[in-house]
Structures are given as structure tokens and as C-alpha cells.
Structure 1
Amino acid sequence: MEHIISEEQAGDRIDKVVSTLDADWSRSQVQQWIKDGSVLVNGAQVKTNYKCSLNDKLEITIPEPEVLDVIAEEMDLEIYYEDADVLVVNKPKGMVVHPAPGHLTGTLVNGLMAHCKDLSGINGVLRPGIVHRIDKDTSGLLMVAKNDMAHESLVNQLVAKSVTRKYKALVHGIIQHDHGTIDAPLGRDQKDRQSMTVVDNGKHAVTHFNVIERLKDFTFVECQLETGRTHQIRVHMKYIGYPLAGDPKYGPKKTLDIGGQALHAGLLGFEHPRTGEYLEFEAPLPEFFVKLLNDLREND
């Protein structure tokens, strides 16, 4: 497909112009095409922020859809909400959200693909519909996009920090303050690239916490994410001296043997991408977490 830039389009970004040429083309999709060289300007590859000039000749080659080689697997998923645009699912502890090379089965995405065929393709073949993630050993609610319009809306809400995300966590130590805010930038640990840590030049990260209950040697807290960085709650709570119980990566050597961090994404709220209605969902603590708290109360 070819297109010549008009006077009205001159000065506009290339991704904006191309995304207006077809109602089915999302801006995120077009940006990926530009990066891949599927959109040329006067025969040359440009960046997504290129400003068009009058009479620029655009050549657009729509890529063949990538064949999805991730296997759909029937799973007993706990769906909290579903319509034509979005889906909210309660992920169990121990389940990986999406496949990775060499590990293509048993993930939430495998189950979602068996449950519904229509998932957003913006995040690529291994992460269809996935807008945000929670760690393998964290349980709780995730929103999933079933089309590109919904995906862009939900991502924009995450960027605007308008999504409500509250987690329940059990941490080592007795937190004296009833509530607090941790504002500390996060980045890769230079000594361990698989871990995150607080670094001066890291990405902005803010976590708010409220104490729910103080137990012997532990505190049960609710954490609300303002930003959503990798391992954010786990790293922030460690940073202030109260690492998550059971956390094999950021917890103390002597922690609870519960197969991973005691962290549950219990409340999720967002605006519906199509209707604008605010939706909010709450998932109760999983059984292991309830039993853990009861055992600690009995030993208190």
C-alpha cells in the first residue's frame, strides 16, 4: 500500500498518520511495523516519531500474521468477569502468566487460549491479551485484553496510574507505623541480573501500605501500587526492612516454607475500555494464606 502525505498530514508523526489510514490498525501495531521496517518513507526506514513532510511517499507492507505456536490447554480458570473486550481472572499461586521460549505449556496464557480465541495481539505471540503480570508465586486478579482497543485503553490507564491494585502481604517483623509510603526507584541488580533492587537511576516506583494486623514476628499488610514495576512490593518491603514471608529471592534465609512469597493481588479496579464504567473486583485470600494467618494467630 502506498500513500502520499498531504498538507493536512505534514508535520504529524508517522505512526499517527499510518494509524488513521485503516480503522483496524492500532497505533501500537503501527509502531511495531515501523520498527520492523514494514513502513518506509521515500524508500527509507524511519523512527516512530518521524515528522512527515509534504509529498512524502509512504510504502506500507502489512506483515503476515505470526503463527501462534503456543498450545491451548483446557484449565479450570477462575474467571471473575468477561465480556467482548476484557476478562478478569484470579490466577492461582504457582502458575506462570505467559510462556517463554523453552517453556510453552502450563501457563495462564495456555488456559486463556483454550477458554477464548479472541485475545489482543499487541504483546506478541507469547503474551496474547496480557496487559500486566503478577509473579508465578503471587496469586490474584489480572485483567486481560480481548482486542487491541481494550489493550491500549488498559495500558493507558496503567500509565496514568488510574488502575486500582491492592495486595495483601505477610512480612517479617513488626511494622510500628499504621501506614506509610515507599518512594524508591527500582532497577536491575548489577550483581544479580535476575533480581531487582533500589537504584538511584532506576524507574520511578511508589508503594503505599497499611497495617492490617500485627502478629508474633510478622505483620499482615495491604499494599497499594501506584506504579507497577517488576517485583515492586517484594523489593520495596525488603528495602524498608520488612521482607515478605516465604520469598526465596528477597526474603531472609530463615523464612517460612510456603513455596514462595505470601502475596495476593486481592483487589483490581479499572475503567471499562468501551463503556467507561468503573469496574472493581475482589478475590479472597487463598486457603494456604488463610491457614498461615490462623496458625500464626494461634502461636501468638
Structure 2
Amino acid sequence: MKAYSIRSKPCLYEGTDNNKTDEGRRLDKFLSAVLVNCASSFIYRMLRKKNIVLNDRKASGNEKLVTGDSVRLYFSDESFDKFTRKDSPADVHMKMPPIIYEDGDIIIIDKPAGMLSQKAAGDDISVNEICISYMRDKGELSEDAINTFTPSICNRLDRNTSGLMTFAKTYTAARVLSEAFRRHDLQKYYECIAVGRIEEDIILGGTLIKDPVRNKVTISDDENGAAVRTIIHPIRNGKDLCRLQILLITGKTHQIRAHLASIGHPILGDMKYGNKEINDQYRRSHGIRNQMLTCTRLIFPDDTELSGIAGKTFEIQAPGTFEKVM
């Protein structure tokens, strides 16, 4: 039997100031991320039998990790390899999207239209893989660390939607940002160009019903759906188009696109919910090939644990094609 711990490779928990990806994480959640091929019942049995110990003492699994902790596993080499075998992230070398803000916990990027937020298939390259590769190239993410926590995006944008995205480098950031998005404490503003004219503010509600077969959603009054809420503010009106600012209160799949389509103002260039005739017209005249929708502003709450972004607003300009169209 071999004791796998901070003092022997592979290193399971980096208890140093330079690696806080697991700070505040429950021990059982940490172990589930390490022992990817083990059931939770097996992990708890190993804790009870002291085959897994925290700081050389018996642990229950609900302890929260802090910097300096040592997690030690008494497994044979063969068992350890079998329990922990996991594919490493692909060696991705794509251009990193523009970075709007970065600190030790978070990256905020400006995602271009056409780039996936997350993988849809095994060989896809998405924002996730690119940001992980970026961290590895900077020496901020070791192979050992990624076996216990994989940094990831916290808000997803559709492939053909551009704009601000958050990426959590640490477990703490992932937890805090996920909670902020869930509670709607983090304000998300979008801009879009839609068909028709909207003269005044509109508050859109209802419920969202998913059709997984068509990968499409509809807005309904059905109480069994997910409640959605979107606030529309007109910025400018043209002859047959309008430019809108949108405050996304809830953040469901295709919410903005489906909400606007439901009131007869689909987003220009939207191939799924849009007006085909008008889309074709602007594709020929302006080269528009994706929906004219972008996330332009994120406002973070004052009371977030992430001091670098507490109370801050991050804002970008809409792509230049917006001005060309109207």
C-alpha cells in the first residue's frame, strides 16, 4: 500500500498560497473529483476505515479544505491509477479571446460570435478549453491540480452570441459566481438588433418550455415551465429595425431570442427564431450571418467574497456590425 498525499506524487491537494483552487471545498466533493471512477459509498467507506485521512486524522467528509491541509490516501498503485484515471484536457492552442479583466480567481473575456462556450462534442474546442490552456501556459494550473478541480465558465453564451463571459480559475470563484447567477445578484445587460420598432420599455414574463428534439424553446403561460423574465429598453429605432438594451433577470436557454420572437420582434440574423426573409435580405446587403446579440455589461454585487470584482461594472461596446446595420 502506498500513501498518496501532498508529500508524494501525484499530489492531491496543493496546500500552498499559490494554489487555492480547492479552498473552501468539502472533503467529500474534493475526493469525488479525484476518485472519478469511485462511487460515493466507496469514498465514505474508505473514510470510515481510515484509508483516507485528513491531516493524518480520521475524517467524515464534510470538512472544508483550507490552505495547508494534507489529504492522504492509502491505496495500492494499481488501485490509485484505476480510481483516478481521467482524460486530460486537450492540448489546445487557439487564440485567447480579448481579456477584459483577470485576477487570481476570475477571467472576464469578450467572446466572439461563432465560438462555443462549452463542448458540444468530444473533439470540439470551446472557451473552456482555451482558458484552461491559457492557465496552463501561464503556469497557473498543473496536471495534479486539474485532477481535483477543473476551472470553467460560469455563464454560457450561445455559439453565435458574442460578449462578456466569466471564467472561474478557483473553486471559490466557481462557487461564488454560480450562486450569484442563481440568485440573480449579478446583473447582465445585452444589446441586440431586432426586427420592427419598439417605442417603450417592455417587461416580458411567462414560462419557458424546452423542446430537446428540435433544440428550441417556446414562451408559454404553462405553469409547469421555467419562469423567465426579461426587461427590454429601446435605444434606437430605424425604419424596420430597432436597437435594444436588454436586462436579463433570469438566464434560461435561448431566453432573449425566444422572448423577442414571441412578441413579433425576432433578433436580426437569428436562424432559429428569426424572420427568414429579413435575415436573407441583411445577409446579402450587410453580410449578417449570426444573431445580432451581445452581452455588453456585467455588474457585480458589492458583497461578493471576490474582492477584486466586488461592486464593479465591466462594459464593452457592441461589435462594429451593429453600427453598420443601424
Residue 103 of structure 1: aligned partner? 123
Q: Which residue number in structure 2 is paired with residue 13 of structure 1?
A: none
> TM-score of the superposition, structure 1-length normalised?
0.74
Quote how far apart the aligned CAs of 1:290 are. 2.0
The aligned residue for residue 268 of structure 1 is: 298
Structure 1 pair 122–146 and aligned structure 2 pair: CA distance change class (3 A): farther
AA at the equivalent of 2:99: I
Partners of 1:288 and 1:273 in 2: CA distance: 37
Query: Is contact 1:80-1:88 (8 Å) kept?
Result: yes
2:174 corresponds to 1:151: yes
136-145 vs 255-264, greater mean Cα deviation: 255-264
Check 1:64–1:224 CA distance in 2 against 1; reply closer, same or farther (3 A cut): same
Q: Structure 1 86/59 Cα, relative in aligned 2: closer, same or farther at 3 Å? A: closer
TM-score, normalization by structure 2 = 0.69
The CA deviation at 1:83 is 0.4
More helix by share: 2
Call closer, same or farther: CA 1:27–1:174 in 2, change over 3 Å.
farther
Q: C-alpha distance in 2, partners of 1:141/1:213?
A: 22
Gapped runs of 5+ residues in structure 1? Answer: 1-22, 44-56, 294-300
8 Å Cα contact 1:138/1:261 also seen in 2 = yes
Q: Is the 8 A contact 1:85 1:273 kept in 2?
A: no
Q: Does structure 1 residue 33 correspond to structure 2 residue 37? A: no
Residue matched to 2:90: 70
Q: Specify whether residues 123 and 141 from structure 1 end up closer, same or farther in structure 2 by C-alpha distance, changes over 3 A only.
A: farther
Q: Does 1:277 align with 2:310?
A: yes
Please list, as runs of the form range in 1=range in 2, the aligned pairs for 1:105-184 lying within 5 A after superposition. 105=125, 107-117=126-136, 118=140, 128-176=151-199, 178-184=200-206
Distance 1:74 1:253, change over 3 A: closer
Alpha-carbon contact 1:70-1:104 (below 8 Å) kept: no
RMSD: 3.2
Aligned partner of 1:15 in structure 2 is none
8 A Cα contact 2:28 2:61, kept in partner: no
Q: Is the 8 A contact 1:121 1:148 kept in 2?
A: no
How many residues are matched? 254
For the 8 Å contact 1:71–1:104, the answer to whether it is kept is no
2:325 counterpart of 1:292: yes
Q: Which residue of 2 aligns with 1:18?
A: none
Q: How far did 1:112 drift?
A: 1.2
> Is residue 122–residue 148 contact of structure 1 (8 Å, CA) maintained in 2?
no
1:167 touches 1:222 (CA, 8 Å); kept in 2? yes
What is the CA distance between 1:121 and its match in structure 2?
6.5
Label 1:124 to 1:174 Cα distance change in 2 as closer, same or farther (>3 A): farther
Cα distance in 1 between the residues matched to 2:319 and 2:216: 26
Residue 10 of structure 2 corresponds to which residue in structure 1?
none
Which of 195-204 and 108-117 deviates more? 108-117
Contact 1:90/1:142 (8 A) holds in 2: yes
Aligned-partner residue type, residue 312 of structure 2 = L
* Contact kept in structure 1, 2:190 and 2:293, CA below 8 Å: yes
Partner-residue secondary structure (3-state), 1:289 = helix
Question: Structure 1 residues 196 and 214 mapped into 2: Cα distance closer, same or farther (>3 Å)?
Answer: same
CA distance in 2, matches of 1:131, 1:100: 16
Is the 2:23–2:172 contact (alpha carbons within 8 Å) kept by the matching residues of 1? no
- Whether the 8 Å CA contact 2:184–2:250 is kept in 1: the answer is yes
Q: Give the 3 Å change call, closer, same or farther, for CA 160–122 of structure 1 in structure 2.
A: farther
Cα deviation, 1:168-221, whole Å, max 9, x if unaligned, reads: 011111124x1011112112127x431111241211111001011111111111
Q: Which amino acid aligns with 2:291?
A: Q
